[in-house]
Structure 1
Amino acid sequence: MSLSHSTSSNHYCALLKLFCQNRNITNAKKLHCHIIKSIPNPETFLLNNFISSYGNLGSITYARRVFDQIPHPTLYSWNTILSAYSKLGRFHEMEYMFDAMPTRDGVSWNSLISGYAACGSIYRSVKAYNLMLSEGSFNLNRVTFSTLLILASKHGCVQLGRQIHGHVVKFGFMSYVFVGSPLVDMYSKMGMISCARQAFDELPEKNVVMYNTLITGLMRCGRLEDSKRLFLDMRERDSISWTSMITGFTQNGLDRDAIDFFREMTLENLQMDQYTFGSVLTACGGVMALQEGKQVHAYIIRTDYKDNIFVSSALVDMYCKCKKIKSAETVFKKMTCKNVVSWTAMLVGYGQNGHSEEAVKTFSDMQKYGIEPDDFTFGSVISSCANLASIEEGAQFHARALISGLISFITVSNALVTLYGKCGSIEDSHRLFSEMRFKDEVTWTALVSGYAKFGKANETIRLFESMLAYGLKPDKVTFIGVLSACSRAGLVEKGNQIFESMIMEHRIVPIQDHYTCMIDLFSRAGRLEEARNFINKMPFRPDAIGWSTLLSSCRFYGNMDIGKWAAEFLMELDPHNTASYVLLSSVYAAKGKWEEVAGLRKDMRDKGLRKEPGCSWIKYNKQVHVFSADDKSHPFSDQIYSELEKLNYKMIKEGYVPDMNSVLHDVEDSEKIKMLNHHSEKLAIAFGLLFIPPGLPIRIVKNLRVCGDCHNATKYISKVTQREILVRDTARFHLFKDGMCSCGDFW
């Protein structure tokens, strides 16, 4: 009879364990009811299993009911219910049960200490520990010290950590891995790496877990060489050792080392997990190592991680960073299960590869599947709206961020500051900036860049100096904004001073963009010889943008000598770039050297090169309307051209004179005027005047820089129509209002 009873109890325990593993509380309760009805006096060990299971499933009420059904609870029963309260952080009930216990042991005290620790109460945990000590050290065990060390680490409590370290040594627990590892980990997380190393050296015996803990600690702290030496000193290395090294290299920007270590790890035939694959894929994406990334992908396919959501998301991210958006889409579509990380990886990938519209659509699809965005997702989709210059959609996301509370995340607020700046609403950008409670370097840089785009040099410099006064450290992007503002306002000396301070005071090594800003600074001010001297002193040659910048100013100032010099380098650097031919043609055309212009055009034809056609677009009623020069394909072309004729008449009465130098063809003046009248931005502006309601600004985007005539004409249009016109070209924003432009005619 007793054998049968015991056998059935074991069977019930096995069933209960299965239900707990599957988080099936309903079946656990049904089993409990069945036992109560069929077994008059169930064994205490069976009831203890129910207490533990209900506690693990979060059903503390049922756990307490089972405990109350035990006529004579053992110490194990008391500890089980106490542990259930402890794990759920129910410390008031836990205290009541602890005080009611007839006897206590080390497990009882550990449950009390762990319960307080789960609630984050250092004071109560330490008080319980001291009471435990007052009863004698016989109750102490490795769990006690491990719990308190983890608590000290989590809250950065150095004093508690040192005290527990002393007791670990005093009571002889240094030989326990379960204590030694959290001790080393605690000092590492507190940034006290010397203490971590000392504690490690004091351990009488070291196993792979302790080595892994110190290696990881040396990596958070940037001690890469030390961690590498420790790794090589290990007699035995497991998967965690290798993964710790790979992850550490990736986190410290040493992507190539991470890839090399992964390659060596594959030769060891060790088991890899999602963290190994995730880290090495991040490394491959970081250095755009597509070939290695594909090899890792092939390796993953042969493992159990080919359908792992974490690994698949890392693959999407890797392919996106390697500019292989189609491969990323393939991986993404094959994923059977997607979470917010997966969707965000695809969304960010679209944005990084210039597919901003697809990024916005992906965000919409993500919500259709019931996936709630986090702050990073929201910030990313807002950035895509900024790249599209879509202030309407961006404003909608702003409203949603306010409603959802995501606006409180700095990533979202920073993206919105950038959005309004890129969309030409610098006032809204500044307003949001002023409302933010917390600002970081990215926040300040976003506003600095926004003002720089508008050519508001004084405001940009003032912001930059305020940023420094607040003790924030500007980065490379900040200086690009400030230097570009100086160049567009002709502040050569100020720009020179800031460039020098970037190198000497802020220890930032200039990149290509900084040098391009300096070339622009000299060139726009007409100091072309200084620009040439600056280029000759650079540690490397300018890129295509740098040469084009100089060449463009040579056209404006009519300097054929430096213009030819710049054009030759640009043609050599990028033989298929038409900018060198077009800009040099304009230099010759301004001097009336039409034979040279014709020669350049023949060279272009012989090489199969075609100038990129200029186009402008305007968004109206959720539709983008695109125009090119002399375009008559639009359904409202007749009304648009009629509106242009009326505008020309009004503009000429106000004093507008067409700028013939903007035409690079040797034709009669009447033909030049006709060509100028039908430039793409003028067609787009006419469309805006016809359909955008009065009182609202007309927003135009252009794929090339605004020509001199269109810039001048738009000033007159803003005056005769009393409308605000915002034009975003490849270089900057132009806000035209009352016959003036925000750039001060310096672009």
Structure 2
Amino acid sequence: MKSKLRSIIDNGGLVFNQNVKITQLGKSGRIHDALKVFEQMTNRNTVTWNSIISVCSKNGRISEARRLFEAMPRKNLVSWNTMLAGYLHNDRVIDAAQLFDEMPQRDLFSWTLMITCYTRNGELEKARYLFDQIPERRSPGCWNAMIAGYAKNGRVGEARILFDEMPVRDLVSWNSMLSGYTMTGEMGLALELFSRMEERDLVSWNLMVQGCVESGDMDSALDYFRRIPNPNVVSWVTIMSGYARVGRVVEARRVFDRMPERNVVSWNAMIAGYCQNFKIDEAVKLFKEMPERNSASWTAMINGYVSVGKLDEAKELLDQMPYENVAAQTALISGYVQNMNMNEARRIFDRIDTRDVVCWNSMIAGYVQCGKMDEAMSLFKQMPRRNLVTRNTMIAGYAQAGQMNEALEIFENMEERNRVTWNSLISGFNQNGLYLDVLRHLASMGREGMKPDQSTFTPCLSACANLATLQMGKQIHHFAMKTGYSSDLFVANALITMYSKCGRVSSAEQVFKDIDGVDLISWNSMIAGYALNGYGKEAIELFNEMESKGLRPDQVTL
């Protein structure tokens, strides 16, 4: 009996140690070794299965994680949540939603995971629907996930309404709300909230420093930094990066030299600061002095070389990297793309074993910029997971190439569209003289609840000008005024042209007079409007006024 009990205890201890080993191997990225330990285990418990599923998910092996999940002999709620968290980690929203629907039971953690999944993907309405459907009392985690979702997507008003409704707030709730204000540049509201906080941690202080840095107020950023009780590495790196961002590299280096402790992130931030300000020699010197480097160090340095056009040095550094990294490879691809050297870009691309969506999009965008739509479409078809950026790039590319049928086909097959999608299609119709299609799709855009912006109004007004549809043009003008875009310079210039081509010179004059900062296009549009409608004297007078203000005419003016 004792020997049997001893055997059970020993086996339990062995399984426990192997479970720990799987987790540790996963954290260090040694996924193959973790799988090997799992496969060699003769006894596995639920924790074993959950651990290997989590390890696979966190290392990007989501298909492997799902295969193991399906093979699991007994699943508990933790197993379902682990798989759901895996989909969240890999941004697989559709798969996560399907799994969530299949779950035999859910706890508050399940609901929080799914809400977070939707908010990260910008699907706030779906997230809010789930939030409202939670069958029991909501945990602070659920509230915080929804508030953070609103805040990160710039909808701080809705985040604040939820925040104020919260029955019990914790420090995460306050920091989520504070993050929303600092991210959207509403530093007045951030300061008001910060002053009301009974408890603050390093995250709170760092958010205020970051908010001031983002708004370009380095004096206030430094003031908050100095008031932090015990600044950590993030605090130091934030203030240092702020100085680098505004071109004060000497002060950034002074902060770097004063840091009580430096980790690899600190070194990378200083190198990135030098590179942003085109001080490549100083960046190289610092790179060589680094006690340790990670993939971000190499990528920052390669990006630096690319930014100053030193592609040979960038390629040499990439070849010296002790391991392959898709971000570094993509940085060099972007450099070749910028220089229209698609052959070299493709060579790097073909060498990459595991490509992420940024890598695919960089390559497709390169072919689009070069007008090689067949090659772009070939990659588009091969791409395992396309996102909105991919499809928007293809629509813009086909529009530039005058292939609007192909652009429209991609558009109509899209499950999700954003404002860029609509603007790319509408601009394409305008560029290719399909003016009625411009106005038709403006109406469709409204029916789908998508609000236009200056990039929508400009081609639509151009279409009205070419069709001489004054009534439609006036409606768009009123819509632009209601939405606050009529003062945008591009919209105002398009309005001048529209009214001029429709014979309403007085309306064009009024728009011209209302522009705060006229540019050369504004002057040319008004001069052309006078000339088009037979106002020769007024055209000459405006030309003389333009010259008297020190503006040099161009070929269009003359």
TM-score band, normalised by shorter chain: 0.5 to 0.7
Structure 2 contact 523–546 (Cα < 8 Å) conserved: yes
Partner of 1:579: 555
Task: Report whether the alignment pairs 1:536 with 2:528.
Answer: no
Structure 1 contact 52–63 (Cα < 8 Å) conserved: no
Partner of 1:304: 290
Equivalent in 234, 237, 241 of residue 240 of structure 1: 234
Partner of 1:738: none
Partner of 2:328: 342
- 397 and 187 in structure 1: CA distance in 2 versus 1, 3 angstrom threshold: closer
For residues 615-634 of structure 1, what are the alpha-carbon distances to aligned partners after superposition, in whole Å with 9 as ceiling and x for unaligned?
xxxxxxxxxxxxxxxxxxxx
Deviation at 1:427, TM superposition (A): 2.6
Partner of 2:377: 398
Query: 1:305 & 1:480 partners in 2: Cα distance?
Result: 53
Equivalent in 46, 49, 52 of residue 85 of structure 1: 49
Deviation at 1:453, TM superposition (A): 1.1
- 1:472 is paired with a residue whose SS is coil
- 128 and 370 in structure 1: CA distance in 2 versus 1, 3 angstrom threshold: closer
Matches within 5 A, 1:156-195: 159=134, 186=145, 189=148, 191=150, 193=163
Matches within 5 A, 1:327-366: 330-331=313-314, 333-335=316-318, 336-337=320-321, 339-348=325-334, 355=339, 357-358=340-341, 360-366=342-348
Matches within 5 A, 1:208-227: 225-226=190-191
Letter in 2 for 1:464: L
Task: Report whether the alignment pairs 1:512 with 2:489.
Answer: yes
Partner of 1:666: none
- 2:290 is paired with a residue whose SS is coil
Query: 2:428 & 2:21 partners in 1: Cα distance?
Result: 58
Structure 2 contact 240–253 (Cα < 8 Å) conserved: no
For residues 285-305 of structure 1, what are the alpha-carbon distances to aligned partners after superposition, in whole Å with 9 as ceiling and x for unaligned?
9xxx747x8799479647638
Partner of 2:64: none
Query: 2:77 & 2:180 partners in 1: Cα distance?
Result: 26
Equivalent in 464, 468, 485 of residue 463 of structure 2: 485
Deviation at 1:268, TM superposition (A): 5.7
Deviation at 1:441, TM superposition (A): 1.9
Task: Report whether the alignment pairs 1:119 with 2:83.
Answer: yes
Query: 1:123 & 1:456 partners in 2: Cα distance?
Result: 44
Query: 2:13 & 2:35 partners in 1: Cα distance?
Result: 20
Letter in 1 for 2:516: P
Partner of 1:418: 396
How many correspondences in the alignment?
A: 453
Partner of 1:546: 522
Equivalent in 469, 472, 478 of residue 500 of structure 1: 478
Deviation at 1:405, TM superposition (A): 4.3
Task: Report whether the alignment pairs 1:474 with 2:452.
Answer: yes
Deviation at 1:517, TM superposition (A): 1.4
Query: 1:563 & 1:346 partners in 2: Cα distance?
Result: 52
**Identity over the aligned pairs, expressed in percent?**
14
For residues 310-336 of structure 1, what are the alpha-carbon distances to aligned partners after superposition, in whole Å with 9 as ceiling and x for unaligned?
35545666787xxx5425775565343
Letter in 2 for 1:53: K
**Larger radius of gyration between Structure 1 and Structure 2:** 1
For residues 602-626 of structure 1, what are the alpha-carbon distances to aligned partners after superposition, in whole Å with 9 as ceiling and x for unaligned?
xxxxxxxxxxxxxxxxxxxxxxxxx
Query: 1:382 & 1:48 partners in 2: Cα distance?
Result: 47
- 1:59 is paired with a residue whose SS is helix
Letter in 2 for 1:334: L
- 152 and 387 in structure 1: CA distance in 2 versus 1, 3 angstrom threshold: closer
For residues 263-282 of structure 1, what are the alpha-carbon distances to aligned partners after superposition, in whole Å with 9 as ceiling and x for unaligned?
89647615566667878999
Query: 1:280 & 1:495 partners in 2: Cα distance?
Result: 51
Structure 1 contact 448–463 (Cα < 8 Å) conserved: yes
* TM-score, length basis structure 2: 0.62
Matches within 5 A, 1:695-706: none
Structure 2 contact 500–529 (Cα < 8 Å) conserved: yes
Equivalent in 352, 360, 366 of residue 370 of structure 1: 352
Structure 1 contact 453–485 (Cα < 8 Å) conserved: no
For residues 139-159 of structure 1, what are the alpha-carbon distances to aligned partners after superposition, in whole Å with 9 as ceiling and x for unaligned?
xxxxxx9x8897577567754
Partner of 2:259: 269
Deviation at 1:87, TM superposition (A): 0.4
For residues 90-129 of structure 1, what are the alpha-carbon distances to aligned partners after superposition, in whole Å with 9 as ceiling and x for unaligned?
5688776x9xxxxxxxxxxxxx664442123779999799
- 1:88 is paired with a residue whose SS is helix
Deviation at 1:445, TM superposition (A): 1.3
Greater mean alpha carbon deviation, residues 441-450 or residues 325-334: 325-334
Partner of 1:326: 309
Letter in 2 for 1:450: G
Task: Report whether the alignment pairs 1:464 with 2:442.
Answer: yes
Query: 2:167 & 2:184 partners in 1: Cα distance?
Result: 12
Using CA pairs below 8 Å that are at least 6 residues apart, which structure has the higher relative contact order? 1
Structure 1 contact 212–240 (Cα < 8 Å) conserved: no
Task: Report whether the alignment pairs 1:53 with 2:36.
Answer: no
Letter in 1 for 2:512: I
- 447 and 116 in structure 1: CA distance in 2 versus 1, 3 angstrom threshold: closer
Letter in 2 for 1:363: A
Query: 1:87 & 1:516 partners in 2: Cα distance?
Result: 61
For residues 8-52 of structure 1, what are the alpha-carbon distances to aligned partners after superposition, in whole Å with 9 as ceiling and x for unaligned?
xxxxxxxxxxxxxxxxxxxxxxxxxxxxxxxxxx99977864564
Letter in 2 for 1:483: L
Equivalent in 477, 492, 498 of residue 521 of structure 1: 498
Letter in 2 for 1:240: V
Deviation at 1:481, TM superposition (A): 1.5
Deviation at 1:519, TM superposition (A): 2.8
Query: 2:250 & 2:472 partners in 1: Cα distance?
Result: 46
Letter in 1 for 2:477: F
For residues 356-381 of structure 1, what are the alpha-carbon distances to aligned partners after superposition, in whole Å with 9 as ceiling and x for unaligned?
x23x3453122242356544444444
Partner of 2:405: 427
- 556 and 308 in structure 1: CA distance in 2 versus 1, 3 angstrom threshold: farther
Structure 2 contact 373–397 (Cα < 8 Å) conserved: yes
Query: 1:574 & 1:377 partners in 2: Cα distance?
Result: 44
- 1:424 is paired with a residue whose SS is coil
Deviation at 1:85, TM superposition (A): 2.4
Deviation at 1:475, TM superposition (A): 2.2
Deviation at 1:420, TM superposition (A): 1.6
Structure 1 contact 385–394 (Cα < 8 Å) conserved: yes
Query: 2:47 & 2:69 partners in 1: Cα distance?
Result: 10
Query: 1:48 & 1:119 partners in 2: Cα distance?
Result: 21
* TM-score, length basis structure 1: 0.49
Aligned CA RMSD, in angstroms, stands at 5.2
Query: 2:403 & 2:529 partners in 1: Cα distance?
Result: 29
Query: 1:185 & 1:305 partners in 2: Cα distance?
Result: 39
Letter in 1 for 2:373: G
Structure 1 contact 417–429 (Cα < 8 Å) conserved: yes
Q: Which runs of 5+ in 1 are unaligned?
A: 1-41, 68-77, 99-111, 130-144, 166-181, 204-209, 585-747
- 51 and 284 in structure 1: CA distance in 2 versus 1, 3 angstrom threshold: closer
Query: 1:196 & 1:245 partners in 2: Cα distance?
Result: 33
